[in-house]
Amino acid sequence: MKINVPLVTELRDAGPMLNQIIELQAEERAAERLLFTSDYLSGEDLSGIDYNIVEFDNCKLLDCNFNKVGFTNVYFKHCDISNCTFENGYFNQVEFISCKGMGCKFQNSVIKHVNFSDSNFTYSNFEHSKFQKVILASSNFSNACLAECILKEMELKEVILNNCDFFKTPLKGIDFRESTIDGILLSDNYKELAGAIVDTYQAAALARLLGLEIK
């Protein structure tokens, strides 16, 4: 599947991130064409503005608030964004490359043309989010919550989805064959599985959820 990659050009070094964001928040302006490098922030409020044509490189942003923020044409490279809040967010043409996002909150977000690659998003929460043209590659999403989501054109490549919560999320057309889905959580009637694509081993494991014994 082909997705639109971030168009990020002509960036200027933003300097200390917090100083820049505070100024933009006060002026109610978006962060545009900025490069944030090797910043360390914890528990800061970085909401109230949008991020357009921005790159976060080797930043450590822990437990920060990006609630109701829009990200368009944005790269996160080698960043630790664990426990950050991105609820009610909008992501379009965004890439997370070699990032750590354990425990991040993405509930009620729109996520399209987004690539998660070589990243760790265990225990992250995407409940009630809408995915369109999204790639998850060589990443760990175990114990993540994708309950009551809409997954439209999602591609999985070697993704760990063990114990992932797909409650009331239709999985029709999602190809799990290159990924692991041990212990995924579903509704009592397992209707989420209708139309999902799995290999023989995965089918046997899922059949046991239905009370079938494969011999």
Residues recorded for the chain? 215
pTM value is 0.94
d(CA 12, CA 23): 16
Using the structure block, give the residue that is written with the tokens 């822990």.
62
- Tens-digit pLDDT profile for residues 58-93: 999 999 999 999 999 999 999 999 999 999 999 999
Q: How deeply is 51 buried, as exposed, middle or buried, from its count of CB atoms within 10 A (0-12, 13-18, 19+)?
A: buried
The encoded tokens of residue 73 equal 């044409």
Which among 74, 62, 106 has a CA at the least distance from the CA of 87?
Answer: 106
d(CA 28, CA 20): 12
More confident residue, 214 or 12: 12
Domains along the sequence of the chain with CATH: 12-209 (2.160.20.80)
- Tens-digit pLDDT profile for residues 182-205: 999 999 889 999 999 999 888 888
Query: Which H or E run contains 203?
Result: helix 200-209
d(CA 173, CA 161): 16
Name 115's bridge partners.
95, 135
Using the structure block, give the residue that is written with the tokens 């989010």.
129
